Amino acid sequence: MDIHEYQTKEILARFGVPSPKGGLAYSPEQAAYHAHEIGGNKWVVKAQIHSGGRGKAGGVKICDSESAVFDAANEMFGQRLVTEQTGPAGKVVYRVYVEEAVDIQRETYLALVLDRASERIMVVASREGGMEIEEIAANQPESIIRTTIDPAIGLLDFQAREIAFALKFAPSQIQDAVRILRGCYQAFRDMDATMVEINPLGELADGSIVALDAKLAFDDNALYRRPEISELRDKTQEDTREMQAADRGLSYVGLDGNIGCIVNGAGLAMATMDMIQLAGGQPANFLDIGGGASPDRVAKAFRLVRSDQNVEAVLVNIFAGINRCDWVAEGVVQALEAAPINIPVVVRLAGTNVKEGRQILARSGLPIIRAATLSEAADRVVTAWKNHKTQSGNAEAAV
């Protein structure tokens, strides 16, 4: 789960990571009031969306008067910002963050991420901040500093000092840099985060170091024990389909094709999508029903995939271990009987209770296309989709 910049800064402040003074606004009037409250003669108005690259999309503006703050906020509210991370759909701005403008002398990059290869938390830092880490890696790979943290010990002071010196902070700034690094690590550990990113970490004219922009991402599986984090979720920034799936305990990923996939397991989902593409089709999404799915859960998954208007065929591919093929079959039948659909449905079942599952599908009398293997299922769903599309086109032409 992602949260907004202002929320991240509030959390990091509790762990000793400083940032410029700021205030959240839901209207232009609030934005101008916060500028007056903060004081000074220059402010930054930032659109609060779950995406990087806001500045390039017009989501970050520097203002030198309260009226300019009002105008900048007024222009942002309701605007759909399109960045490299949002995709062409973009994200709508419903809130802005007004922050004091500071005199930045130098920008660096700092992040803590979960490194699955080493099963450790890794600090990734660079002397070149203010741009995406992908750009840094491509343009200045030699500037990237990596340090692995042993979870049994935590971030040690000598590691933090080594990183601070490698980032070229002055001796008088090392203590502050170490404090920020330790604060980021503690936030990562204590909040069940999967990423803490400060980009840029700014060195100001007075020698202080502050987080100018920051991101936090959390482990969805740990949210049950972090209710205060769950409350920070902003559903307006999420794909509606993915949000509905998450609310029902399902894992959903939306894509750009037209064949919906219902599977159990991320690995099987990837294989299923690859086979669909090899057969000449394009997946519209995949939905992972997880282990031990009941018929009701399968039916909900089916309805959710079908609610995507781009879906013109559905492939159910289940390799049952913890799951049971008969439960999956009952769920498919339950969904189709409750809400009949006029698009092809292909079901491939294998594993636990596969014989019973196939019998349930056969006895249902529903126009379900059955397949024994994944390759066969992919070929059949693509063929059925093409035939259905041709028939629909002919019917429209006849009308």
How does the average pLDDT of the chain come out, rounded? 89
Whether 397 shows a pLDDT value over 90: the answer reads no
Cα dihedral across residues 260, 265, 268, 270: positive or negative: positive
Cβ atoms of 258 and 310 within 8 Å: the answer is yes
| Reported confidence tier of residue 286, pLDDT bands at 50, 70, 90 | confident
Task: Summarize pLDDT for 97-121 with one digit per residue, the tens.
Answer: 999 999 999 999 999 999 888 889 9
C-alpha dihedral, 173 to 175 to 178 to 184, nearest 10°:
-90
Task: Please identify which of the residues 6, 97, 109, 252 carries the catalytic annotation.
Answer: 109
Whether 154 shows a pLDDT value over 80: the answer reads yes
Whether 185 shows a pLDDT value over 90: the answer reads yes
pLDDT at 246: 66
Alpha-carbon separation of residue 280 from 38, 258, 309, 317, 374 (angstroms):
58, 12, 20, 17, 14
Annotated binding site: 46, 53-55, 99, 102, 107, 199, 213, 264
Same domain flag for 86 and 42: yes
| Reported confidence tier of residue 223, pLDDT bands at 50, 70, 90 | confident
Annotated binding site for Mg(2+): 199, 213
pLDDT at 132: 76
pLDDT at 395: 57
**Helix runs in 77-173, H state only:** 133-139, 157-166
Annotated binding site for ATP: 46, 53-55, 99, 102, 107
Same domain flag for 40 and 177: no
| Reported confidence tier of residue 5, pLDDT bands at 50, 70, 90 | very high
Whether 356 shows a pLDDT value over 80: the answer reads yes
Number of domains making up the chain: 3
Task: Please identify which of the residues 100, 197, 312, 330 carries the catalytic annotation.
Answer: 197
Alpha-carbon separation of residue 352 from 293, 324, 361 (angstroms):
13, 5, 15
Task: Summarize pLDDT for 57-75 with one digit per residue, the tens.
Answer: 889 999 999 999 999 999 9
Same domain flag for 25 and 11: no
Is 197 tagged catalytic?
Answer: yes
| Reported confidence tier of residue 208, pLDDT bands at 50, 70, 90 | very high
More confident residue, 285 or 25: 25
Task: Summarize pLDDT for 209-222 with one digit per residue, the tens.
Answer: 999 999 999 998 88
Same domain flag for 203 and 341: no
pLDDT at 194: 93
Q: Looking at residue 117, which CATH number applies to its domain? A: 3.30.470.20
Same domain flag for 293 and 180: no
pTM for this entry: 0.75
Q: Looking at residue 38, which CATH number applies to its domain? A: 3.30.1490.20
More confident residue, 239 or 345: 345
Same domain flag for 248 and 120: no
- For residue 314, the enclosing domain spans 240-397
Please say which residue of 55, 84, 101 terminates a domain: 101
Is 109 tagged catalytic?
Answer: yes
